[in-house]
Structure 1
Amino acid sequence: MPEATVHIVDDDPVLRDALVSLCLSDGLAAIGHGDPGGLAQSLRRRSPECVLLDVRLAEQSGLAVQESLRADGNTVPIIFLTGYGTIPMSVRAMRGGAVEFLTKPFIAEVLLAAIRKALAADAVALADRRARDDLSARLATLTPRERDVMRCAIGGLMNKQIAAELGITEITAKVHKRRVMEKMQARSLADLVRMADQLGVAATRQR
């Protein structure tokens, strides 16, 4: 896993420093935040991250911080820490995508296990996002005609059928199809279909 970072948001300096030390002892980079003000700017989202977030903060509730991050499209995994929690509070947190909702005092190994789980999930999510971004960049290199041919190809149309559908010659259809495969770096038609599915490209079916 690339270097991972744990962001700790707690207005209790003693607990915050203890959590930073715990993470460092487990080989994790850790950043302490006394308030949530600079959290969003600290989340770089280039390597796995997670947030340990106190539910009750002086300036803003942890749940409000979670909702603000989600509203901005930030999907960083969040582990909530609370001195006392209610069922409605935990339900609200989990519905917002929280990984865990832990009550203080917590067992160090339980917290570290939750952190590892959150970071592993974030690593997968980041890899998926990079893969989608890469596919989108490849798709952007296709000309409008090549996109038309791609839709026909993933719809199961043969070169002759693609030519008839688009009003071009069969040779031209074959050339466009080859360029589509090259630009999308597809090893096979099945590979191209998988890429199109991930990108939400609709297929053109034979009429």
Structure 2
Amino acid sequence: MNAPANNLCIVDDDEAVRRSLGLLLLSRGYAVQTFASGEAFLADADLHRAGCVVLDLRMDGISGLQVLDALRAQDSPMVVIFLSGHGDIPIAIEAVQNGAFDWLEKPCNDERLLETIARALQKAGEIATRRQARKSAQALWAKLTPRETQVARLVAEGKPNKQIALELAPLEQRTVETHRAHVFAKLGLANSHQLDRFLREHGL
């Protein structure tokens, strides 16, 4: 089972709901943590590892929406599925528009719950992959010298060596060629198109 599937949480102040959902998910091979409040979840869960949280909208203490806001404020990779009562459906839909993955109405169908969690964990895995790729890209980018980063950005714009030398004057064209070669070698890229995509994909 992949890493996100090992970070699956249920947050609900109803003990019966926590027990029934926990047993269902455990029976399907998931590693599950349950929390009786949003405060306990935020204090004790691993919020900086990709995973999924099945979160009640209305609870004693802070609400599910406040928990979602806290996760967003921490840039947590946790994917949120809301559990809502019938009267909370408009709020749940708004929550999805504000970043939650999906919502399920109480009492929720077991198969729909399992299917939704499976999709949420797949998204969590994608988030983890993207973040790891960005972290690796940032590490490679940090290996460039300040002058190499200047040259790299201009190369990514498709500018020829002669023009780059003029823009970064006093800099000889041969020196630009050397910096260009170093950039491609350090980043493991072959051409300016790959470099442009590298910068865009990783927000550099």
Are 1:174 and 2:186 counterparts?
A: no
2:195 to 187, 192, 200: 192
For the aligned residue pairs, the C-alpha RMSD in angstroms reads: 1.9
CA deviations on 1:132-163 (whole Å, 9 max, x unpaired) are 12111211111111011112211222223322
Residue correspondence of structure 1 range 134-153 to structure 2 within 5 A: 134-153=136-155
What is the CA distance between 1:75 and its match in structure 2?
A: 4.2
Aligned-partner residue type, residue 118 of structure 1: A
Q: 3-state SS of the aligned residue for 1:53?
A: strand
Conserved 8 A contact 1:99-1:114: no
Which one is further off, 116-125 or 65-74? Answer: 65-74
Conserved 8 A contact 1:23-1:30: yes
In structure 2, the residue matched to 1:93 is 95
* Structure 1: 5+ residue stretches without partners: 202-207
Aligned-partner residue type, residue 2 of structure 1: N
Aligned-partner residue type, residue 21 of structure 1: L
In structure 2, the residue matched to 1:2 is 2
What is the CA distance between 1:200 and its match in structure 2?
A: 4.2
In structure 1, the residue matched to 2:164 is 162
Which one is further off, 191-200 or 128-137? Answer: 191-200
Conserved 8 A contact 2:80-2:102: yes
In structure 1, the residue matched to 2:115 is 113
In structure 2, the CA distance between the partners of 1:197 and 1:83, relative to structure 1 (3 Å rule), is closer
* Structure 2: 5+ residue stretches without partners: none
Which one is further off, 151-160 or 127-136? Answer: 151-160
Q: 3-state SS of the aligned residue for 1:79?
A: strand
1:22 to 17, 21, 24: 24
CA deviations on 1:141-194 (whole Å, 9 max, x unpaired) are 111110111122112222233223322222211111111111112133321111
CA distance in 2: counterparts of 1:160 and 1:173, whole angstroms: 8
TM-score after normalising by structure 2: 0.89
Q: 3-state SS of the aligned residue for 2:33?
A: strand
Aligned-partner residue type, residue 91 of structure 2: M
Q: 3-state SS of the aligned residue for 1:15?
A: helix
What is the CA distance between 1:128 and its match in structure 2?
A: 0.9
Q: 3-state SS of the aligned residue for 2:8?
A: strand
